Copies of this chain bind each other. A is one copy, B any other.
Amino acid sequence: MTNAFVLRLSSFVNEVGIVTHRVHFTPFDKTVEVPYGALIVEAARLAEIDINVPCGGQGRCGRCAVVVQNGNVRRRSTIRLSAADVQAGYALACQTVVEGDLEIFVPPQEEITRHLTTEKTAAKISVPFEYDWRVHQTVVKYFLHIEPPSLADNTDDLSRLERELSKCCDIRGLYAPLSVLRTLARTLRDADWRVTVVLDRGGAAPRIVDVLPGDQTYSLYGAAVDIGTTTVTVYLVDLYSGEVVEMAADYNGQIKRGEDVISRIIYASKGNGLVELQSLVAQTINKLVERTTIRHHIKPHDIYKMTIVGNSTMIHILLGLPPEQIRLTPYITTINHPPVVLANELNLNIHPQAPVDCLPGVASFMGADITAGVLSSGTHDTDKVTLFLDIGTNGEMVLGTREWLVSCACSAGPAFEGAGVYHGMRATTGAIEEVYINSQTYEPTYRVIGGGKPRGLCGSGLISLLAEMFITGVTDKAGNINLTLPTPRVRQGEHGPEYVIVWASESDTGEDIVITKPDIDNLLRAKAAIYAGYVVLAHSVGMTLKDVEQMLIGGSFGQYLNIEKAIQIGLLPDLPWDRFHFLGNTAARGAYMALLRREAREEIAAIAKKMTYLELAADNTFNEQFMAALFLPHTDMTQFRSVQKLLNGAE
């Protein structure tokens, strides 16, 4: 064993005589010393070796498998590993306990492929309302010519600046932070008393963000940020014109520490997890900010205001607030209306004194992404009965009009994001995004993102596949695969009945791409949770889904949703197609609106206060409705007359 790198988890450990073991990692050739009973994943972290734990270390995803080449371990769980795998030495790093000196091989970790669709839509955003920065914007710049002091007029520097601001712009009661005061004397004199004052008028008292030499009023920038569990989106906004001048999006850097919010919460609850996750998302935002500012030929420090939306877990983690209670009954956040903080408090690399405004949410599973979505979709401002839906890892929905708003969140799970499905994957290169099945031969045709060989199926591909399997009779209403069909594509697999979409010879991975009965059950549970949510919301206000006059769908997933297929599996209610509208990233758009106008910011707070949140865990009818929806498309076919008609026609 090479001892080039021997680090200790804690020197205390040895001093008190606890037994420790050395763990040597290949191919890195790093050795660490850990106490008996430590997890392999903890040893790896100590050795600064990155092992992906998409499920947050719960032993559910199987992605953290390593090979124990030598030494004693105890496997607490071997889920996702076959007997042969275990025989070959595989062990889940997050579930395997060190019980002796070890030799561990870490397989190459899957890199996240960059293929994001939001960047494409950059050009589409236009200023969504009348906008005059002088009137609507809280962050402003003023160019001042301040009178230099003399023995006869020895007022202090800040008072001189205040005097001028009150004269020129009627601004009084200024607050100046130490950071500004510490450079004020120098700046005023170096600039010969001609300075640009950047002011934040968003709080109780106008606050000086910075004092810059000379006239720098020629530009003023802000940023709107949407922190998705999967994707982070940044809009760079010209605060004079109100236009989005650049946009960038990328995977949330937290993904490797958990794919869904629950995994992130679990990860955040352990050791230094919260600090690490905070840092990862801040780094993601900083990287995206840098990308937009480089393209626009400005500096990140030229951004003087940031508005952020995200679900409550994402916002808690960004603010460094422990999110544990979000997933524990009765599901309580620390705060739904966070205070405005400064960029430097969160290690965000824009102007350090820039206000960072995390928009308000409603509950643990009804965050600012949804209140912002309600704002930008106009759900709160219409006479039509509107159902607003944002399907991502969770399914959050709001039913309402100008007069009232009710909302709920369904733990749909990440099935539609490709997780929990054996050949599921994200909507990146190699993902099948659409499938058709020949009703005679049961042969599929499909479309692959990027056009190459397929590697798996993304959410829209899964919906389309499931709908086709149901319509063509490959499955029955309950999702059972009919093994009697005259095609080799249906067969008994290791995990039960399965349907082969791609033969190994045509797949990028060299193995068959299949959908199994457990996969179908996962998808049914996900869509049933969402559909049950619609019904509970409607019932709560004495309506049925037929009363919905428009259905607005936000989230990037929505953009690739085939309405017909989604209705066929019962994911969307059976309404005339013209009532559906796909709005794209409604969360980011809401953040953008709140960034621009003080009134929009106030509106979103009013939305958050006005919205009634139904906690489904406390709702008995939800479970009934969920059970009733666990079929294709539903047990009650009167709710899906268009699908019934199709099936009748097919018969």
- Hey, what's the 0/1 contact readout for A361-399 against B, CB within 8 Å counting as 1? 001100000000000000000000000000000000000
A128 vs B613: C-alpha distance when bound (angstroms): 55
**Smallest Cβ distance from A175 to chain B, in angstroms?**
6
A178 vs B274: C-alpha distance when bound (angstroms): 14
A76 partner residues in chain B, CB cutoff 8 A = none
CB distance A319 to B178 under 8 Å?
A: yes
Partner of A185, one of B149, B155, B157, B324: B324
- Hey, what's the 0/1 contact readout for A175-189 against B, CB within 8 Å counting as 1? 111100110111001
A339 partner residues in chain B, CB cutoff 8 A = 175-178
CB distance A158 to B334 under 8 Å?
A: yes
A339 vs B181: C-alpha distance when bound (angstroms): 10
Partner of A176, one of B159, B320, B335, B613: B335
A186 partner residues in chain B, CB cutoff 8 A = 322
CB distance A331 to B154 under 8 Å?
A: yes
Partner of A156, one of B177, B322, B333, B615: B333
Range, interface on chain A: 35 or more
A320 partner residues in chain B, CB cutoff 8 A = 178, 182
A363 partner residues in chain B, CB cutoff 8 A = 154, 156
Q: Is A205 in contact with chain B by the CB < 8 A criterion? A: yes
Q: Is A151 in contact with chain B by the CB < 8 A criterion? A: yes
Q: Is A647 in contact with chain B by the CB < 8 A criterion? A: no
A145 vs B152: C-alpha distance when bound (angstroms): 58
Q: Look across to chain B and name the residue whose beta carbon is closest to the beta carbon of A615.
A: B151
CB distance B319 to A156 under 8 Å?
A: no
Q: Is A204 in contact with chain B by the CB < 8 A criterion? A: yes
Q: Look across to chain B and name the residue whose beta carbon is closest to the beta carbon of A617.
A: B151
A325 partner residues in chain B, CB cutoff 8 A = 157, 185, 189
CB distance B149 to A332 under 8 Å?
A: yes
Q: Is A329 in contact with chain B by the CB < 8 A criterion? A: yes
Q: Is A618 in contact with chain B by the CB < 8 A criterion? A: yes
**Smallest Cβ distance from A438 to chain B, in angstroms?**
49
Q: Is A511 in contact with chain B by the CB < 8 A criterion? A: no
Partner of A334, one of B184, B331, B334, B336: B184
**Smallest Cβ distance from A215 to chain B, in angstroms?**
22
Chain A contact residues: over half helix, strand or loop, or mixed?
A: loop
Q: Is A547 in contact with chain B by the CB < 8 A criterion? A: no
A156 vs B331: C-alpha distance when bound (angstroms): 9
- Name the interface residues of A534-556: CB closer than 8 Å to any CB of B: none
Q: Is A302 in contact with chain B by the CB < 8 A criterion? A: no
A596 vs B321: C-alpha distance when bound (angstroms): 34
CB distance A332 to B618 under 8 Å?
A: no
A175 vs B332: C-alpha distance when bound (angstroms): 19
Pick from A157, A158, A185, A320 the residue with the most CB of B within 10 Å: A185
A176 partner residues in chain B, CB cutoff 8 A = 335, 339
CB distance B319 to A154 under 8 Å?
A: no
CB distance B181 to A335 under 8 Å?
A: yes
Q: Is A341 in contact with chain B by the CB < 8 A criterion? A: yes
CB distance A335 to B151 under 8 Å?
A: no
- Hey, what's the 0/1 contact readout for A332-348 against B, CB within 8 Å counting as 1? 11111111010001000
A615 partner residues in chain B, CB cutoff 8 A = 151, 154
A338 vs B330: C-alpha distance when bound (angstroms): 45
A440 partner residues in chain B, CB cutoff 8 A = none
Q: Is A126 in contact with chain B by the CB < 8 A criterion? A: no
Chain A residues at the B interface, C-beta cutoff of 8 Å: 149-152, 154-159, 175-178, 181-182, 184-186, 189, 204-205, 319-322, 324-325, 329-339, 341, 345, 363-364, 613, 615, 617-618
Q: What are the 4 closest A-B residue pairs judged by CB atoms, nearest first?
A: A151-B618, A156-B333, A158-B335, A156-B336
Sample of 20 further A-B pairs with CB below 8 A, known A176-B339, A178-B339? A151-B329, A151-B331, A154-B332, A154-B613, A154-B615, A156-B332, A156-B363, A157-B335, A176-B335, A178-B319, A181-B334, A182-B319, A182-B320, A182-B321, A184-B335, A185-B321, A185-B322, A189-B325, A204-B204, A204-B205
